[in-house]
Amino acid sequence: MRRTGVIAVLGVLLTASVAWAQGTIATGKHDFSAGSALRNADAAINGQTCVFCHTPHSGSTTVPLWNRNTPATAYQLYASSTMDATSPGAAAVQSSVSGACLSCHDGTIGIDVLANLGGVSHTASVAFTAQGTANATYGTTGVPASANIMTGGAPFLGADLRNDHPVTIIYETARAATSTEFVLQAISGSKVTVGAVNPLPLFGSATATATVECASCHNPHNNTNGTFLRKSNAGSALCLTCHVK
| Shortest CB 245 distance to another protein, Å | 4
Between residue 160 and residue 179, which ones bind another protein under the rule CB under 8 A?
Answer: 162-165
Is 114 in contact with 28 (CB distance < 8 Å)? no
Contact 211, 166 (CB under 8 A): no
Distance (Å, whole) CA 130 – CA 40: 9
Q: Which stretch binds another protein (CB under 8 A): 14-22, 120-128, 140-148, 230-238?
A: 230-238
**Other Cβ atoms closer than 10 A to 210:** 23
Residue 168 carries which side chain, given as an amino acid letter?
T
- The neighbouring-strand residues paired with 214 are none
CA distances from 211 to 29, 89, 162 (A): 26, 13, 18
User: How far is residue 148 from each of residues 38, 108, 177, measured CA to CA in Å?
Assistant: 10, 10, 43
Which one, 85 or 217, has the nearer CB to another protein?
217
**Span of 2-10, 14-22, 52-60, 228-236 interacting with another protein by CB under 8 A:** 228-236
By rule CB under 8 A, what string of x and - marks binding of each residue 186-225 to another protein? -------------------------------x--------
Site for another protein in 70-109 (CB under 8 A): 78-82
239 lies in the binding site for another protein (CB under 8 A) = yes
Given the rule CB under 8 A, which residues bind another protein? 78-82, 154, 157, 162-165, 180, 184, 217, 233-236, 239-240, 243-245
